[in-house]
Structure 1
Amino acid sequence: MIEQTLQALTGVGTPVRTAWRLLGRARATHYRHAGGKVHGPKQRRRPGPQALNDGERAAVLQVINRAGYSDLSIGQIFIRELDEGRYWCSLSSMYRIAAAAGQSRERRRQATHPAKVKPELVADAPSQVWSWDITKIRGPVKGVWYHLYVLIDIYSRYNPGWIIAAAEDSVLARDFIDEAIARNGQVPHTVHADRGTSMTSQPVSALLVNLGVTRTHSRPQVSDDNPFSEAQFKTLKYLHDFPGSFPSLSAARAFCDGFFTEYNHVHRHSGIGWHTPASVHFATTGPVDDARQATLDAARAAHPER
């Protein structure tokens, strides 16, 4: 019915646009139906008479890559050529030609800087590099915290010293490190810490300088530059029997005494070949490895088919 009405209107000289407006339909619908269905991708539109030919496009690309222009943006090239009285094409056409040649991104030669290497603590024997930190544990009431000072040898994972105090104090930290070094019998060449007030304090710094120990600190605003101490604090606080709070300082000391004793002498650490930190620190891993291998050899001899 609509097609018949349209033919009647256009047959008496009514324009197609007017006829479809009278029928309340879009004019584009008429032309879409008149053209029939189109299968596949839309055919590329033929360039108009004003379009640049292949030679002109090649000339524009040659200008873009001319010596002195190869580091400039397309806008810079267009304006400089225009100032010299030369017009090759519109700015948008120059951009399209550069994009087709893959040259529409950053064209300037820029200095390249190597990626910053993350600093890493390295030790190849015990008592070379120590890491230390202070963590808080809850006291009996809200707002009361106890401060746990812990040293760890990054090679053996052994704890040469730890204390719990009611407050954080730089003089106490100095005495703590001094006593741990004296007890260990060997001065480490490096002591690492984060940038806490006690770690950067004058008493601690003076002690380490007098002992000839190199001080290293975590980078500012970087939370994972002291991984050995942070990992041990997580091991402590994620124990199944770690209390939510401690009723007294003595109770906190008793719990930590049991933890560090077991950590040093019982806990098999995956990062040091499943040995205990004390075994690695005091160089007794050889007999342990021999005993393990003997057990494995006996098991293989008993069941070689396995």
Structure 2
Amino acid sequence: MTPLWGTAAACRLTGLSRATIYRHRDPTPPKPRTPRRPSPSALTETERQQVLDLLNSPPYQDLAPAQVWARELDEGRWWCSESTMYRILRAAGQNGERRNQATHPARTKPELVADAANQIWSWDITKLRGPVKGVWYHLYTVIDIWSRYVVGHLVATHEDGQLAEALIADAAARERVDPDQLTVHADRGAAMTCKTITQLLTDLKIGRSHSRPKTSNDNPYIEASFKTLKYDPTFPDRFGSIQHARQHCEAFYTYYNHEHRHSGIGLHTPASVHHGTAGQIRQQRQHTLDAARAAHPHRFGRRRPQPPRLPDRAWINKPDNTAPDQSTTPPTTTHPATQS
């Protein structure tokens, strides 16, 4: 007997899926799925848990996986690759972006480059909350953009060009900066453009450069260092006194210069790069990776693992070589190290 309704029409009336009807009509049982064979280079569940426990351990729970990877490598221990650490955290729901970054329209921009320490310094002032509302302390910081080494800082109760002048002069003397060796880059705040700073740089034969108005991207190294300071777990919501602020900043910048592994300089410390010991440390890291590859060759494949390379240059606004109008535009300073 021919059915009055077709399968498709009957399914529309009853709300059932045609695939379900056809599957129930087929007497052949479904074939069991073949379990997926794990990759020989994959970590076991025990090893993945050990890496997760390491990342969540008290010394490392507030550090990025790149920091943990570099520190363990410096101690002669290799667990897995840096990307595997990120995958393990992602699988555990412990990885993600913190916030969106601001963007700014393209304008004429300063172009600075350094290929050694004490060629380009960047400095700025940021505010720190005091003990009560309306009370602020001002942190002056000077950083070498090539090594990310903080060459000088101070905390004061107000912005003052004379304080900035003394800070830069002291840092230049301590670093033994020669005439025409250094360029100092800053934004266009009142303390940065005051007559005392201008006269000091002229007297010391130090070049000067300034950001575009309201464009923080023109001073990225100092802004990034302030973000590292204020996102550190030890950074308080308010400082109880100016002595408290000074003690905290002194301790933080000692840590930042001598312990913090910076992603922009091959996960070395700024002091190591600034004082020329990063090459030796990179060789030691290579020996550790070679030993790890010899012990676990199936986890590395054919390529020889290598530690992150040290960058040969640090740019503020690297010019776009594809644009002919920018390739011939001179930088905003006469310092030889800034020629593009």
TM-score normalised according to structure 2 size: 0.55
Report which stretch shifted further, 294-303 or 143-152. 294-303
Query: Which one-letter code corresponds to 1:143 in the other structure?
Result: G
Task: Show the counterpart of 1:197.
Answer: 190
- Per-residue CA deviations over 1:262-300 (Å, capped at 9, x if unaligned) read 100000001011110000000101210111011111111
Give the secondary-structure state (helix, strand or coil) at the position aligned to 1:199: helix
Q: Kindly indicate whether the alpha-carbon contact (under 8 Å) linking 2:110 and 2:210 is maintained by their aligned counterparts in 1.
A: no
CA–CA separation in structure 2 for the residues paired with 1:213 and 1:186? 9
Note closer, same or farther for the CA distance 1:217–1:254 as it changes in structure 2 (3 Å cut).
same
1:153 aligns with 2:144: yes
Task: Show the counterpart of 1:250.
Answer: 243
1:168 aligns with 2:159: yes
Give the Å deviation of 1:305. 2.5
Percent identity at matched positions?
60
Q: 1:208 aligns with which of 198, 201, 205?
A: 201
Give the secondary-structure state (helix, strand or coil) at the position aligned to 1:122: strand
* Off by >4 Å, runs of 4+ in structure 1: none
Task: Show the counterpart of 2:223.
Answer: 230
Aligned residue pairs, count = 192
CA–CA separation in structure 2 for the residues paired with 1:223 and 1:305? 46
Task: Show the counterpart of 2:111.
Answer: 120
Task: Show the counterpart of 2:287.
Answer: 294
Report which stretch shifted further, 249-258 or 218-227. 218-227
Note closer, same or farther for the CA distance 1:294–1:250 as it changes in structure 2 (3 Å cut).
same
Query: Which one-letter code corresponds to 1:201 in the other structure?
Result: C
Q: Kindly indicate whether the alpha-carbon contact (under 8 Å) linking 2:109 and 2:212 is maintained by their aligned counterparts in 1.
A: no
1:220 aligns with 2:213: yes
Query: Which one-letter code corresponds to 1:132 in the other structure?
Result: W
Give the Å deviation of 1:194. 0.3
CA–CA separation in structure 2 for the residues paired with 1:264 and 1:241? 16
Task: Show the counterpart of 2:133.
Answer: 142
Give the Å deviation of 1:219. 1.1
Higher relative contact order (CA 8 A, sep 6+): 2
Say which one has the larger Rg.
1
Give the Å deviation of 1:169. 0.9
CA–CA separation in structure 2 for the residues paired with 1:285 and 1:237? 27
CA–CA separation in structure 2 for the residues paired with 1:273 and 1:185? 26
Map 1:1-306 → 2, pairs under 5 A: 118-187=109-178, 188-306=181-299
Give the secondary-structure state (helix, strand or coil) at the position aligned to 1:147: strand
Give the Å deviation of 1:206. 0.3
CA–CA separation in structure 2 for the residues paired with 1:137 and 1:280? 29
CA–CA separation in structure 2 for the residues paired with 1:222 and 1:305? 49
Give the Å deviation of 1:185. 1.5
Give the secondary-structure state (helix, strand or coil) at the position aligned to 2:257: helix
Note closer, same or farther for the CA distance 1:116–1:171 as it changes in structure 2 (3 Å cut).
closer
- Per-residue CA deviations over 1:62-121 (Å, capped at 9, x if unaligned) read xxxxxxxxxxxxxxxxxxxxxxxxxxxxxxxxxxxxxxxxxxxxxxxxxxxxx9664332
CA–CA separation in structure 2 for the residues paired with 1:120 and 1:195? 16
CA–CA separation in structure 2 for the residues paired with 1:214 and 1:175? 17
Where do 5+ consecutive residues of structure 2 fail to align?
1-105, 300-340
Give the secondary-structure state (helix, strand or coil) at the position aligned to 1:283: coil
Report which stretch shifted further, 178-187 or 155-164. 178-187
Where do 5+ consecutive residues of structure 1 fail to align?
1-114
CA–CA separation in structure 2 for the residues paired with 1:224 and 1:303? 43
Root mean square deviation, CA, Å: 1.4
Q: Kindly indicate whether the alpha-carbon contact (under 8 Å) linking 2:216 and 2:223 is maintained by their aligned counterparts in 1.
A: no
Give the secondary-structure state (helix, strand or coil) at the position aligned to 1:224: helix
